[in-house]
A and B are shown apart, each in its own frame.
Chain A
Amino acid sequence: MTKLIRSEEEIMLADAARGYLDEAAPVAKLRALRDAGEAHDPALWAEMAQMGWTGVLVPEEAGGSDMGHAAACVLAEEMGKTLAPTPFLSTAVIAATALRQVASARAKAALAKIAEGTVTYALAIDEGSKFDPEAIDLVAEKDGNGFRLSGQKRFVVDGGFADRLLVLARTEGGVTLFDIPADATGVTRSAKPMIDSRDAAEITFDKVEATGEDVLGTVDDAMAVLKPALEAGQAALAAELTGLAAGAFGRTVGYLKERKQFGTLIGTFQALQHRAADLWCECEVTSSAILHAGRMLDTDPENAALAVSVAKARAMDTASLAVREGVQMHGGIGMTDEFDMGFYMRRARVGAEWLGDYGYHAGVVAGLRGF
């Protein structure tokens, strides 16, 4: 039976990741990028490729390390602790999982590039202000042997710099997923600097040409490819948010042990102790859901939806609590830009919306649990 504890390899991976990220991508890194007006650091991404992280879900025959979803969640969780700004979720998790569902030589070549770190992807689904893959209007009209894509996408995370786009479009008999270059004729991108200092683009498609080759999977049946990709992304995002909560919590507990008021450490005040303890409990419960989601994606992907939605819902809730308590328990200093807690708070809000908010995932859970 699969165990709900980390394996030795996973523990080693987490330790290695933590060591690396503390050095190479602490919150100061994100802050520096923000101050420089950038949302992506290609050098950081190249190093992650070297370590096999970008190929975490790429099969070995395509040059990947193929460590599986639980391992991808381990990495995402560590990245969440330091808010490492990378296209890991869009490219290494979501795009890689989508491409893996397809048996073509082209998909294999794309996977190889992901593992090498020489291509980045962004997923273009949202058109309104909420995640809802069912409600899209962007159309791909038949044009000879190919298609022409017209419409608008919003909140395309990493879409401002990605090399390629996975675009969900309406076709005659359903929805279809396209894999096209981000600089194709007719694509207009406007990168929007987001509150979390990462980038999400608004993208206009004006009769953008796509061939049958560009279809990922089958025409009219995007979900066969997209569903596993979304679930992988949702689980990894949940892991990132759990890491984020742990990062914020660690700082807060540290502060309680160092800040003095009324002649004593504020950590001696029971009003704060009990709230910190309650938050720790929430973090623990959420960690279990993350582990389980990773295990389900690795062992029983057909039936992972419940585990993934529980993980995403829990993680965004816990992250939100962790950053709210984080600011509050730091007092005035928690409100300053100089202090890092604000970065955690803003990323938690973006992560809560991306790939489905609480209500979306609660709806999935209710449906699967019979009400």
Chain B
Amino acid sequence: MNDDLAQFRAEIRAWLEQNCPQEMRDGAVGEDSTCWGGKNWNFTSDAQKTWLERCAAKGYTVPTWPVEYGGAGMNRDQEKIWLEELATINGRLPLQSFGIWMLGPALLHFGTHEQKLHYLPPIARGEIRWCQGYSEPGAGSDLASVQTKGEDKGDHWLVNGQKIWTSYADKADWIFALIRTDREAKKHLGISFLLIDMTSPGVSTKPIRLISGKSPFCETFFDNVEVPKHQIVGTENRGWDVAKYLLTHEREMISGSGLLAGGSRSLGAILAESGNLDEPVLRSDVMRHEIDGLAFGLTLERYKDQAEAGTGTGDASAMLKYYGTELNKRRQELIMAGAGSDALTWDDERAPHWLRSKANSIEGGTSEVMLSIISRRILGLPG
């Protein structure tokens, strides 16, 4: 077993050496540094395009997905080796997307074989970009009270309503959305999980500007949009099950985001270069963050090992989401403090990152909602 893994590591290392373009070995993790795919994607360089194509051909964009759906069929140990070797050469991820983090796992679990064959490979190749239509003006933390409605018209649903905070809706090709298909049932039991082509007549988007100066999220409007019946995941009116399952993956993804930044180098080592780390209060905060960050990284590992051994709990993602995002917000505060006035202009990328991180503990379920989930479902405290 360990011999096999050593062999596997050698293969990955050799493949990366041959195939990862030099320009992709800078460890960059910024919003445009990694390809998000989709028909509207503008590659920032030829290297970015080549890197995506080479990885997609091997299934490395989604290493653990089955080969028939565009993955590489890796197990957990192999995936870990892939990520470690990629980090060793400071390589960028070839592709990231909501399709990979969110819809993919949900389809793998709830989709039919035909749906998997139809929707997953284009995600793996970065051809179709997805966005998430969950939140509405009146349904944020209380997500199950979504009102966007789908009327049964025989072979299709007629969808009307509005979503909000839809990240990258203006760039996405498709949207997975929570639509109320039964207005009489209790709120959790009248929702369906529909897949909607953003080019369908009646779909429109309007960007919203963020405090970071960017506008990657939108209002999304549905005005008499026809959605064919086969574009449902799971059972009619049982979309909440799919939605919740997807959320556990979304939460795990968001929780790890802070750890990826900086590759294998510590925040302290990065900040030390600024010369400001001798200041004792900052230094002490950075040390504490380092210790918590290392322990949290181990927790991500442990939970994955638990999940693989079948001893994990789905609710654990609430813990990862809460802890990981609060940790990342601390990290961003320390980066700003370490940089001093150097980071206070808009042409420095640190300020927008710092501002963007504030959303981590809101998107995908707020920190308070995570704590309530832990308190009820894990600690069993009375509602």
Contact = CB atoms under 8 A, between A and B. Distances in A.
Contacts of B371: 273-274, 277-278
Contacts, number: 123
Interface string A267-278: 110100110111
B290 A281 contact: no
Contacts of A253: 379-381
A292 interface: yes
A262 to B, nearest CB: 13
B11 interface: no
Contact of A289 (B271, B284, B294): B294
Nearest to B373: A277
A273 B372 contact: yes
B306 A5 contact: yes
Interface in A299-319: 306, 310-311, 313-314
Contacts of A362: 284, 287-288, 290-291
Contacts of A292: 298
A256 B301 contact: no
Given A288-B295, A314-B291, A369-B268, A280 B77 contact: no
Contacts of B283: 366
A1 B290 contact: no
A257 B381 CA distance: 7
A280 B372 contact: no
A276 B379 CA distance: 8
B268 A370 contact: yes
Interface centre among B291, B323, B370, B371 (most CB of A within 10 A): B291
B382 A268 contact: yes
Interface residues of B, number: 45
A371 B381 contact: no
B375 A274 contact: yes
B40 interface: no
Interface string B272-311: 1000010000011011101110111011011001100101
Contacts of A313: 291
Which of A273, A286, A371 gathers most chain B CB within 10 Å?
A371
Interface in B1-43: 2, 5
25 contacts: A1-B77, A1-B80, A5-B302, A253-B381, A257-B380, A257-B382, A273-B375, A274-B371, A277-B370, A277-B371, A277-B372, A277-B375, A281-B374, A287-B302, A288-B299, A292-B298, A310-B294, A310-B295, A362-B290, A362-B291, A363-B287, A365-B291, A369-B268, A370-B265, A371-B286
Interface of A: 1, 3-5, 253, 256-257, 265, 267-268, 270, 273-274, 276-278, 280-281, 284-289, 291-292, 306, 310-311, 313-314, 361-363, 365-366, 369-371
